[in-house]
Amino acid sequence: DVKVTQSSRYLVKRTGEKVFLECVQDMDHENMFWYRQDPGLGLRLIYFSYDVKMKEKGDIPEGYSVSREKKERFSLILESASTNQTSMYLCASRSRDGNYEQYFGPGTRLTVT
Amino acid sequence: AQSVTQLGSHVSVSEGALVLLRCNYSSSVPPYLFWYVQYPNQGLQLLLKYTSAATLVKGINGFEAEFKKSETSFHLTKPSAHMSDAAEYFCAGRRGGATNKLIFGTGTLLAVQP
């Protein structure tokens, strides 16, 4: 089974802090994704990585950056956290040769105070 | 799919009743369509997927969905709801163009009453 893990289930940070959310997958997938999930808005794509060191902005990249130094790990960075970044963050991965099916981690619920 | 629309943000059914969750898509390319389920405080889990094979797709936990091109729909059904089906359900489709990304609907929260 594909396993996608995220470093924290719950995180509380202060406004202005730099926040790192880590995601690791164990299936050698080329593609990895970061989404944020908010009530009534569904999942919105923040960033996408199609290979090591390769990244592409999603629909809502403002205020975020990403890092992918190794194939299995994809990090989401909030350079200066703000209260409007309080949300559930979901990481996903998929094989480049697959049928677009994405495999999700358990999510990190981030609260910025 | 350039867009995926889920009709009804909240659906409530009685235990044992039919579950019907609606999803419509718009696409100029052959679609790949998915239904995911999210239980409280968990990530998304794949229920079923349509990949241009059979139009009636069976998934886990007794769910199935039918792809209807003429109606651009991919509604999710289950003949008899169980309390454990209470969760949020997301429909998703492949975005248009040369992309390997998905676009998600806004979700439908299913409540099952005893």
Question: Is B31 in CB contact (< 8 Å) with chain A?
Answer: no
> What mean pLDDT value characterizes chain A?
94
A42·B41 Cβ contact <8 A: no
Strand B3-7 with B108-113, pairing: unpaired
- Please state the φ and ψ torsions of residue A89, each to the nearest 5 degrees: -115, 130
Residues listed for chain B:
114
Say what percent of chain B tops pLDDT 70.
Answer: 94
CA distance A41 to A103: 20
3-class DSSP state of A99: coil
Q: Report the pLDDT averaged over residues B53-77.
A: 93
Between A9, A35, A101, which is nearest B49 by CB?
Answer: A101
The distance between the two most distant Cα atoms of chain B, rounded to a whole number of Å, is: 46
pLDDT in tens, A79-110: 999 999 999 999 999 988 767 889 999 999 99
> Contact B84/B71 with Cβ under 8 angstroms?
no
Can you tell me the distance from the alpha carbon of B114 to that of B112, in angstroms, rounded to the nearest whole number?
A: 7
Percent of chain A with pLDDT over 90: 88
B90 within 8 A of A43, measured Cβ to Cβ: yes
Nearest to A107 by CA among B47, B45, B46: B45
| CA A30 centroid distance within chain | 15
What stretch of H or E contains A6?
A: strand A4-6
Residues of A with CB under 8 A from a CB of B: 4, 9, 31, 33, 35, 40-43, 45, 48, 50, 58, 90, 92, 94, 96, 99-107, 109
Mean pLDDT, chain B, integer? 91
